[in-house]
Amino acid sequence: MTTRRNAAAPRLGGLPAGDGPERLVDAAPEPPVGAATGETVPDLRLAGLAVAAWLAALAGLHLTAAATAALAAVAAGLAALVAVHLLGVLGRPAAPVRRHGWAVVAVLIGVLCGASATAARLAVRDAAPVRALVHERAMATVELVVRDDPRPVRGAAGRPATLLVRADLERLTARDGGRVAGPVRALVLATDPAWRGLLPGQRVGAQGRLTAPRGGDLTAAVLTVTGPPTPHGPPPWLQRAAGTLRAGLQRACEPLPDEPGGLLPGLVVGDTSRLSPAVEADFRATGMTHLNAVSGSNVAIVVGAVLLLARWARAGPRAAAVACALALIGFVILVRPSPSVVRAATMGAIGLAALAAGRPRAALPALCAAVTVLVLVDPELAGDAGFALSVLATAGLLLLAPGWRDALRRRGVPVGLAEALAVPAAAQLTCGPVVAGISGTVSLVAVPANLLAVPAIAPATVLGVAAAVVSPVWPAGAEFAAWLASWPARWLVTVAGHGAGLPAGTLPWPGGVTGALLLAGLTVALLLATRRPLVRRLVAVCAVAVVLGTLPVRLLAGGWPPPGWVVVACAVGQGDALVLPVAAGRAVVVDAGPDPAGVDGCLRRLGVREVPLLVVSHFHADHVGGVAGVFRGRRVAGVLTPQWPEPAFGAYQVRGAALGGAAGLRTAPVGWRWRAGGVELVLLGPPYPVRGSRSDPNNNSLVLAATVAGVRILLLGDAETEEQRALREALPSGAFRADVLKVAHHGSAWCRMLPSFSTHRQPGADGACERQSTCESPRTGPARVRGSSARRKTARRSPRPRAGQLSRPSLTTTPPP
């Protein structure tokens, strides 16, 4: 039950990590959750039903249809027995049993409903004809109905992205002529760019190979196709209209800088196709990932804006409800029904129905009802992380935030600041276990980052939606609205970038179910323990002690990069990208890695604004694929390339980037010297062209000796044994002495180090990307630097590197194992 039934329901808006109504305003102050005053008791009558249905559906997704049906039968039997007992058929039950018995019945009914709905879907998924073809990995001709926008997944360097298309498989014809009727869910893996333009609801035909899905959802088959789709008619007109608006927003964002221009479509309509991986990594580190795509907070903002307009026009409750319902339907179609949007839309529909009926909205029962309905309609949502984060964030805002806000107000904190602190803290606390289980980290900067992000969310969303709506009829107006929206988007990018750059902003945590349950247990224990004043004071003292104990260490350790650094090997995946400092804001870059975002993020964190020289050792994709990232937002004066012109596509990439950035392009002979600031480069090789080897581009890599602030660094590119032998014959052995050695070809076994390079006491042997497992040779793994005196440099870096995260430079070395 709930007291104070006439009090206005809390309204939360501009939520930093969750969803819900607009502002935390009540008719009267509420005590903290769990306070003993008895004034307010949350209405949890539907909570047991919702949670039980959710967990039963989640369990069913990992069981067979028969086992899930058995679970439903057991729940039905137990519910009947308990109900019979409570009705007094077997005797009058005791008072405590009567008090809690019907709650147990509700939980068992939830298990019955969730398990039954999931068992029915599993039976369709595991139908014998489809399962047999999947196990045979059969080739088939299929007819599909697209369920969502195709989503690109970045492939390996130099390879096209794979498009993931979720679809309903309507008809299937096997090679032997057998036919199967659907519908069942399928996941299409496609590489042909024609799949990118498909819209939800569109019916297409395709040919491909059926394989088994990973399990844990309702996908019956994975279809791998190599050709284009065959359209069987246009998509529905509503989806065509939504596609036109989404494309119009993308066009309006094209003149904007890359970072806000890529974020804005994701923030407004969930289109993250242009979002920079570096920005995405920053948002993940600061707990702002929910802003990369549409969530329930966007739904609340749009519906709230329409409601304000309706009230301004003096519309009645029913007219306002109709206007909000139309806006809600249109917005859901525009952004696509992702789990968090569907949850928020269902809650909104329940609330609008209450508004039209003239009844006050009860947010918590609406949340429970929405969860129950959605899990029964689509049991696959039970296993979706976005759905879980949306529900948990909303629950935290409804259960924890009002009490925390009022507790702060009673201690003299202004009401606006109390709201701003309570909302992100409550959302972060409830979502923390799921985020930790997914990412394997706990963000310490999430609450302040989300607090700073709050003012920018609503204007960016409203202006972005306006840009999308007017784009078909007024492109110039759409560009102007997008330009206005880009300023709050720039603020979000700035907050995420600075938050991600803070030392110890994220802490490692066990991933998976174990890590999530561990943090959930600690969270519950902390909430229960802090209800006692003595425990609250103890926790506060411990927190202050931890901060005071770690802050001096952090201040002494300094920021990133550390002072006096001489070389940084950027963590760009399989490939090389090294940075040599020339002066403040200026550095030489040697190779660019496979992806523009990685090297761009690395240079951005190093504060590099000008590159007097970009050196390309050779034209393989893992060294030049990211060359556009070096030019992104900074001036590049010149580019040094090898004389060997292959692979041609890599050479074309470098020439195009140099031409677009107005950088001089040149080659150089052996013995060429270059100096700027404290950096001196000497070109050692190749002494002559190497032809007919296993990899001629590798064996014609530029080999450089660099001196930075008196530290000599030998950069071998991808030189294999043939080029190493040519260098040994052409140059005196003293030419190869160095303090730091960049091991050739990431330490691959194709590039075994000849004695001239491995026994001349290089104290730091940097495998650069050799530390990453994807760089190993397919035969014998990483090559070792020979010689007992050689020491292999170890980078100090987090256990889970992010895109664009930096390897630590040659400041620490450890003896080889």
Average confidence (pLDDT) per 10 residues, the chain, 817 residues: 38 37 35 40 84 94 93 94 82 71 90 95 84 85 90 64 88 76 86 89 92 88 91 88 90 89 87 79 80 72 82 81 84 77 74 61 80 92 85 85 87 85 84 84 83 88 91 93 94 87 74 85 79 69 63 57 84 86 92 86 86 92 88 89 86 87 87 89 86 82 89 86 80 78 70 51 42 33 34 34 34 29
Whole-angstrom Cα distance, residue 207 to residue 189? 11
**Partner residues linked to 190 by β-bridges:** 163, 225
pLDDT at site 148: 86
Q: Which residues pair with 711 in a beta bridge?
A: 708
Exposure of 763 by Cβ count < 10 A (0-12 exposed, 13-18 middle, 19+ buried)? middle
What's the CA angle centered on 240, arms 238 and 245, to 5 degrees? 95
Residue 618 contacts residue 648 (beta carbons within 8 Å): no
- Grouping H, G, I as helix, E, B as strand and the rest as coil, residue 102 is helix
Q: Give the pLDDT score at 471.
A: 92
Q: How far apart are the first and last CA of the chain?
A: 65
Amino acid identity, position 797 = R
CB 490 within 8 A of CB 276: no
Q: Are 718 and 744 in contact (CB under 8 A)?
A: yes
Cα distance between residue 702 and residue 642, in whole Å: 6
Nearest partner of 112 among 83, 92, 90, 87, judged by Cα: 83
Tokens (6 digits) for 532: 């006692």
Angle between helices 339-356 and 385-399 (to 10 degrees): 40
Angle formed at CA 219 by CA 146 and CA 435, multiple of 5 degrees: 100
State the DSSP H helix or E strand holding residue 309, giving kind and residue range, or none if neither. helix 296-312
- Collapsing DSSP to helix, strand or coil, 113 comes out as helix
Look at the block and give the residue holding tokens 């045979």.
Answer: 136
Residue 273 has a pLDDT of: 78
Contact 201, 234 (CB under 8 A): no
C-alpha dihedral, 155 to 158 to 159 to 161, nearest 10°? 50
- Residues with Cβ within 8 Å of 45's Cβ and at least 6 positions away in sequence, in order, are 1, 106, 365
What is the C-alpha separation between 774 and 574, in angstroms, rounded?
6
Q: How far apart are CA 293 and CA 518, in angstroms?
A: 28
Q: What's at 616, amino acid-wise?
A: V
Q: Residue with structure tokens 């103890």?
A: 538
Strands (E), 578-618: 578-583, 586-590, 610-611, 614-615
In this structure, what token pair is assigned to residue 757?
């390079």
CB 295 within 8 A of CB 391: no
Write the single-letter amino acid at 397: L
Are 286 and 496 within 8 A, CB to CB?
yes
Residue type, 303: V
- From 60, 173, 186, select the one nearest 111 (Cα to Cα): 60
Between helix 237-253 and helix 446-470 the angle, nearest 10°, is 110
Q: How far apart are CA 12 and CA 451, in angstroms?
A: 14
Q: State residue 8's pLDDT score.
A: 37
Distance CA(222)–CA(187), nearest Å, equals 5
Q: Residue 607's pLDDT is what?
A: 85
